[in-house]
Amino acid sequence: MDIQTIGLIASIITIIMFISPVDQIRDIIKDKTSHGVSPIIYGMMIINGICWVTYGFGINNSFIIVPNAVGAVLGAATLFIIYKYRSHKE
Contact 37, 87 (CB under 8 A): no
Give percent of the chain above pLDDT 70: 97
* H-only helix segments in 1-90: 3-19, 21-31, 40-59, 62-84
The per-residue pLDDT for 88 is: 65
In this prediction, residue 89 has a pLDDT band, given cuts at 50, 70 and 90, of low
Contact 75, 53 (CB under 8 A): no
For the cut 90, the answer to whether the pLDDT of residue 81 exceeds it is yes
Residue that wins the pLDDT comparison between 51 and 22 = 51
The string of pLDDT tens digits covering residues 37-54 is 899 999 999 999 999 999
**What pTM value is reported for the model?**
0.84
What domains lie within the chain, and their CATH numbers? 3-84 (1.20.1280.290)
